[in-house]
Amino acid sequence: MNTQNLVEKPYIEFPDHTQLPESDGTFVKNFQEHPQGILLTDSITPVLQNIHPDGQYCIGQDSGIYWRMVDPPEAGAEAPDWFYVGNVPPTLGGAIRRSYVLWRESIPPLIAIEFVSGNGSEERDKTPWQGKFWVYETVIRPAFYAIYEVKLARVEVYHFIENRYQLATPNQRGHYPIEPLGVELGIWQGQYQNLDLPWLRWWDREGNLLPTGNERAAQEQLRADKAELQLQQEKENLKQEKERSQKLEDRLRELGIDPNNLS
């Protein structure tokens, strides 16, 4: 981006999300990015609903975060592939958010995630005023910044500590704890939708994979099937026990013994 062509706009009152462009005209770069964002949102939703029973949080997927007012306006925005902000309303004035405008908000995102489609240099660019890494670290300042590289089956997580990003160290499971959410972020190899890839996913503190809605439904169905099987087995055992008891009573009667008066 050539910063020489950007002009600071002397607004008396900076615009809100309804007055700013919601798109810069670009499109998702590959067929994996859209399901990856859905996978992250779907699996962590129960956690966020537990943290925010009032529903006061929002998730952005390839949505703009406006951090500087320039001309054109979209040049002053970054659009993380996925980000989460807690303790903010999911809508504004009854309208769906078009973007997240920092000069209108009090809370920065807790985590922003970029999906690498090239060699990762764009996501690690620390060039002042234009590099993604610089903008996240210096202005937007999410507590966690993750760079996910599907081709390399890896994720880097940076933690904002003492006014700068520090590269986080994975735990013994190879995951990165996101303590404010009580979850871990890492790579899971498997099939989601119709793609078998190293997906970026969440785990709980004990290392249990957070399931998607479909996976939760499948788990519930499996538990229901097991319970039904156990019930059928118990019924069959009871039937067999009654049959054995009846045969014993019949044999006693053949011997002239009343099975109801054995004292």
Structure tokens at 22: 């919601």
At 170, phi and psi to the nearest 5?
-70, 155
SS (H, E, C) 216-256: HHHHHHHHHHHHHHHHHHHHHHHHHHHHHHHHHHHHHHHCC
> Does the 3-210 domain belong in CATH 3.90.1570?
yes
Helix, strand, coil in percent for the chain, rounding step 5:
30, 25, 40
Which residues are 185's β-sheet partners?
176, 202
pLDDT, residue 137, reads: 98
pLDDT, residue 30, reads: 79
CA gap 76, 135 in Å, rounded:
10
pLDDT, residue 25, reads: 54
| Three-state DSSP state, 22 | coil
CA gap 49, 41 in Å, rounded:
12
pTM: 0.79
CA gap 63, 79 in Å, rounded:
5
pLDDT digits (tens, 9 = 90+) for 35-94: 999 999 999 999 999 999 999 999 999 999 999 999 898 899 999 999 999 999 999 989
What count of other Cβ atoms lies within 10 Å of the Cβ of residue 194?
7
pLDDT, residue 21, reads: 56
pLDDT, residue 225, reads: 75
Which residues are 95's β-sheet partners?
92
Residue 11 confidence class, pLDDT cut points 50, 70, 90: very low
Q: Is the pLDDT of residue 29 over 80?
A: no
Question: In the predicted model, what is the mean pLDDT of the chain?
Answer: 89
If 0-12 CB within 10 Å is exposed, 13-18 middle and 19+ buried, where does residue 112 land? buried
Residue 176 confidence class, pLDDT cut points 50, 70, 90: very high
Q: Is the pLDDT of residue 7 over 60?
A: no
CA gap 258, 4 in Å, rounded:
107
Q: Is the pLDDT of residue 24 over 90?
A: no
- CB neighbour list of residue 37: distance below 8 Å, 6 or more residues apart: 61, 62, 81, 82
pLDDT, residue 179, reads: 97
CA gap 109, 144 in Å, rounded:
9
Strands 65-66 and 77-78: antiparallel
